Amino acid sequence: MTAKSAMVLSLVLQSIHFTPRRALRTHLGGVRDILRNHDLSMGLEPGAQNIPKDPRTCISHFDLLPVTTEYICCPSCHALYPYEHQNHNSTYPQGCNYRTTQSSTPCGILLWKDIQVRGNDYRRVPIKKHLHQELKSWVGRLLSRKGMETLVKGRPHALLSPDIVDDIWLSRVFVGLKDSSGKPFYPGPPNEIRLVFGLSVDSFNPLGNQTAKQKVSSTGIWLTLLNLPWNLRHIQENLYLADVIPGKPSLDQINHYLNLVVRELLEFWDPGVFLSRTYEHLLGRLTKAMVVPVICDKLGAHQTVGYSSAPTAHYFCVLCDLDYDDIKVLDRTQWPPKSCSEARRFSTLWKEAINDKEKLAIFQSFGWRWSPLFDLPYFDPVLFTVIDSMHALDLGLLQTHCRDLFGIDLDNLGGEGMPHDSPRADIEPYPVLGDEDTKKLRKCEALIKNNLPGMLYELVTFNRRILYTICLRHGIKGDGYQEIVGTRWVLAKNINLWVSLESTPVP
């Protein structure tokens, strides 16, 4: 009993108060010495040997460790290789063999290093490893807790009022979710559990807030169970932490880790995962799940769904097809809507590109990269990417923009942000200057005049400056729009439509 009490105290210090492991070793060693001396002084048989020396043994004894899968991680490109300790290391590649495309050269970065064990003995170990927590076991443990099944099955499944939506669960998107058979996803049959998650990806400093420009970064991927009431969703034991990535993967490198999550979510989507036992169903229960909103800051959300993530990129919005140069257009009726089907098509083109040059050209033309989330049949990057209110409101970014950047205050009259005596600069924002632009413009006009099949995809290879100038010279606007707005792809489509409707070729 004394040994169990010491182990429980160690667990409390480790899990709740986050006591360092080296301090817990000292604590357990001190308890062992005190009990051993006490037993010897009382003439009792020493029982201190039942108290472990390592705090990790306490977690294993009470079966509190999450079920994880270990991977070898490439230090450069973040490619992952399943790792099993019992297998001989020679079965794994010496260097990373990941290729970004079929014709690309392998990464080639070393995956192994030799460490000295004792004397002249060395052991070959991975340079970088990664742990992924399995979603099945996490959901199984969650539904083994008393009251959890009642909470996740007790959410409203109809829109109570179209004017009052005080929770994302009551939004039209959630009410309209469909399962793989086309029926309402929630609540599902009585013998099933239906779960809806929100996906978050964000970077953080594992050492806390540091000064003196110390930059240490890790990236977390976790799911929030939105079936729970809002006050229980973000409690530590109710959050599924899938991965903690050392460093910050760039661009599409995050896909290696998202693949691990999506692979499990696909099984939860169809046919579902049968849990052998839950708290209320001793004979088991079928569980299905979806991931709907992607809840990150702008950079994290765009990287996660495969969209352009640079703050000043021409493709700056995942919801509409405005170009960064159209950011002055505040009339929402002039914002071309973005299409989910087009996003899937362009991201697939990027994924199937035969070389890196083609990938870059596709990205520059359409703004999309491949994301493993597109493997989920129901995923809509336009509809499911939501604004992260924490950065906008809780961290005061919206306040900073209004007060410091826009200069909005009660002492000054509002306006359009420019002096009254200055002419508007939107008459021709893209004057074609220089010989290079002139050559490209003539080439584009010749392409339009010829009007050959496949002209649309030839047009999109020109930069927006050229396409905008063509639209400006010929007054080409989208159907129902009063201004020339849109990304390179939108302008190319408008020009292509205009040419098809013209009875005479462009002179």
**pLDDT at position 427:** 46
Spatial distance between the Cα atoms of 15 and 138, rounded to a whole number of angstroms: 17
Higher pLDDT, 205 or 199: 199
Contacts of 314 (CB under 8 A, 6+ apart): 308, 323, 324, 325, 367, 464, 487, 488
Q: Output the CA–CA distances (angstroms, integers) from residue 459 to 17, 376, 448, 478, 493, in the order listed.
A: 61, 31, 8, 16, 9
pLDDT at 328 over 80: yes
**pLDDT at position 168:** 86
* Residue 153 φ/ψ, nearest 5 degrees: -95, -5
Model confidence, pTM = 0.84
What's the pLDDT tens digit per position in 49-61? 677 778 778 777 7
What's the pLDDT tens digit per position in 19-47? 888 888 887 888 777 777 766 666 655 56
pLDDT above 90 covers what percent of the chain? 45
Higher pLDDT, 206 or 266: 266
What does DSSP assign to residue 304?
H
398 Cα distance to chain centroid = 23
pLDDT band at 422; cut points 50, 70, 90: very low
What ranges do the domains of the chain cover? 2-61, 68-130, 135-300+384-398, 424-501
* Residue 196 φ/ψ, nearest 5 degrees: -125, 125
Contacts of 393 (CB under 8 A, 6+ apart): none
* Residue 144 φ/ψ, nearest 5 degrees: -90, -5
Spatial distance between the Cα atoms of 256 and 82, rounded to a whole number of angstroms: 12
What's the pLDDT tens digit per position in 139-183? 999 999 999 999 999 888 777 676 777 788 888 888 889 999 999
**pLDDT at position 4:** 76
Q: What burial class does residue 238 get, using C-beta atoms within 10 Å of its C-beta: 0-12 exposed, 13-18 middle, 19+ buried? A: middle
**pLDDT at position 430:** 57
Three-class DSSP labels, 421-444: CCCCCCCCCCCCCHHHHHHHHHHH
User: Looking at residues 470-495, what average pLDDT do you find?
Assistant: 90
Inter-residue contact 295 to 386 (CB < 8 Å): yes
